[in-house]
Amino acid sequence: MAIIQFPKDMKWGTATASYQIEGAANEDGRGVSIWDTFSKTPGNVVNGDNGDIACDSYHRFEEDIELMKELGIDVYRFSIAWPRIFPNGTGEINQKGLDYYHRLVDKLIESDIEPMCTLYHWDLPQALQDKGGWNNRETIDAFVQYAEVIFKEFSGKINKWLTLNEPWCISFLSNYIGVHAPGNKNLQLAAQISHHLLVTHGLTVKKFRETGIDGQIGFAPNTTWLEPYSNRQEDIDACNREIGWYVEWFMDPVFKGSYPDFMLEWFKKKGVELDIQDGDMEKINQPIDFLGINYYTGHIARHKENEGLLDWEMVEMNYDRTDIGWPIFPEGFYKVLMRIKESYGDIPIYITENGSCYNDEPENGQVKDSGRINYLQQHLTALSRAIASGVNIKGYITWSLMDNFEWAEGYTMRFGIVHVNYRTLERTKKDSYYWYKQTVANNWFEN
């Protein structure tokens, strides 16, 4: 057995998102979000599930923080629900919303857990969506105003900030593929929204610097990896397009001030051209303090003419899959981190999401989720390889602390290291919780 050892200053954590866990959708002045609307539209979410109650963490956050404290983690990544702060997206501030997050953050600090705050994890106020949502540049201004309020309100309490979670999902998954809120299916719209999101990110970073508060700021794009089926250039190019759609499309503008030419040319072939206003690229190209990386899956692929948007097909290699159907491909985790290092240098990186879906249920009070433990072992080994290869990894935050509302899959898919009974809301620590607890305590594991 090999010992997989991590650096002494490695930070360990878990993550959640507001709409997925909080519930209390109609309490204390919270406004309606696009996910409230989307989930209550028949046919959008499995079983018609929604986040009205979710894990009820709004009322049970102290119990959830006790679980984290026992776990021994350093960092908790959570998101703030924009509609709790500005029920209509702009205008009057809802003090009760701010009060809730103060109680949460104070309890984290009291428990020696560092809060890492995501400002936007998909719950756009419906009032802004009604005016065009992220396709309307007024939403950019509204977000920066919201962010400034949060920065000033939590100055001295929160020192690590993420502007946006998974801008690929906010734009393309939600407005081109259409399986997430608001459910549009328009490639030009999605591409333009991706640009507006990057402008939003840049202006939010700029605003953060202007406030002069202590802390660090970044964003958390989701990544994937396609390994070419062969060394033929057409296979390599096809895989690069898919990776580039997630990685270079969102990272090049931030780090280099321009979109990748190979992706611009491909989109142009598909009839897509961005409306980039004067000064936009300079706004996006703000120095960030760290990069969040979300990674779950990848696979082998090859070129196939007219297959999907990017002309590639997956080649089935019979990899093990998680219960949501995603191939387990830890090699891709290593390779995408290496690609990011080679492209953007030694930017400090936090793994802000990595985890797996296994739907194991309690038996005699125990949840035997050996699949999740194996997944964590494989991906933490890949992460150790990346560290040994010079990638500047500062921390690892697993998704998720507990089972929760899994977007379009409703409550049918479980990613937590803590099981949630959605009828009673009882929390049960899974075997993976105890495995992760030991790994955090030791800073190593045997593989």
CATH number at residue 418: 3.20.20.80
Compute the average pLDDT of residues 378-395: 98
Angle at 36 between CA 30 and CA 42, to 5 degrees: 160
- CB neighbour burial string for 210-233, b if at least 16 within 10 angstroms, e if fewer: eeeeebbbbbbbbbbbbbbbeeee
Mean pLDDT of the region 319-340: 98
Other residues' Cβ atoms within 10 Å of the Cβ of residue 255: 19
- Is there a binding annotation on residue 435? no
* Pick from 52, 74, 119: nearest CA to 395: 74
* pLDDT mean over 345-368: 98
What's the mean pLDDT in 46-75?
98
User: What does the pLDDT read at residue 268?
Assistant: 98
User: Which one-letter DSSP state was computed for residue 436?
Assistant: H
The answer on whether 121 is annotated among ligand-binding residues is yes
Q: What is the mean pLDDT of the chain?
A: 98
pLDDT the model gives residue 212: 96
The average pLDDT across 328-355 equals 98
Residue 72: give the domain boundaries. Answer: 3-446
Say how many domains are in the chain.
Answer: 1
pLDDT of residue 38: 98
299 is in an annotated binding site: no
pLDDT at site 194: 99
pLDDT confidence of 296, banded at 50, 70, 90? Answer: very high
Catalytically annotated residues:
166, 353
Tokens of residue 25, six digits: 């959708």
The answer to whether 165 is a known ligand-binding residue is yes
Is 59 marked as binding a ligand? no
Q: pTM score > 0.95 for this model? A: yes
What is the mean pLDDT of the segment spanning 336-349?
Answer: 98
pLDDT at 198: 99
Contact 389, 340 (CB under 8 A): no
Question: pLDDT per residue over 237-289, tens digit each?
Answer: 999 999 999 999 999 999 999 999 999 999 999 999 999 999 999 999 999 99
